[in-house]
């Protein structure tokens, strides 16, 4: 655990510590391709193609398994351009 976090942890109430710890855990959770496909509205095949071509969501290989970190998926989603059907990229 990070030393800075441990120092901060001592100065907060147990309820705040639990909330912060929970948020950190949620952001660092590793997701499967299926979970990410549901989250972003693309197929697992699209994710596999992007892994092969490059330019997709950064991922990790754990043995044979592909995993995506929640915080990285959310960052990737937030950095995608917003498209308008009438004028292109907003």
Across the chain, which has 90 residues, the per-10-residue mean pLDDT values are 52 65 69 96 96 94 96 91 69
HEC readout, 25-79: HHHCCEECHHHHHHHHCCCHHHHHHHHHHCCCCCCEEECCEEEEEHHHHHHHHHC
- Residue 6's pLDDT is 52
pTM: 0.64
| Fold that domain 27-79 belongs to in CATH | Arc Repressor Mutant, subunit A (1.10.10)
- Residue 85's pLDDT is 74
- Residue 69's pLDDT is 95
DSSP H or E segment with residue 9: helix 3-11
- Residue 80's pLDDT is 85
């Amino acid at each position: 655990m990070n030393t800075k976090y441990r120092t901060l942890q001592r100065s907060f109430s147990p309820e705040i510590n639990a909330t912060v710890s929970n948020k950190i855990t949620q952001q660092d959770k590793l997701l499967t391709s299926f979970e990410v496909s549901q989250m972003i509205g693309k197929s697992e095949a699209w994710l596999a193609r992007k892994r092969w071509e490059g330019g997709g969501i950064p991922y990790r290989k754990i043995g044979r398994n592909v995993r995506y970190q929640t915080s990285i998926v959310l960052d990737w989603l937030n950095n995608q351009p917003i498209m308008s059907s009438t004028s292109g990229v907003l």
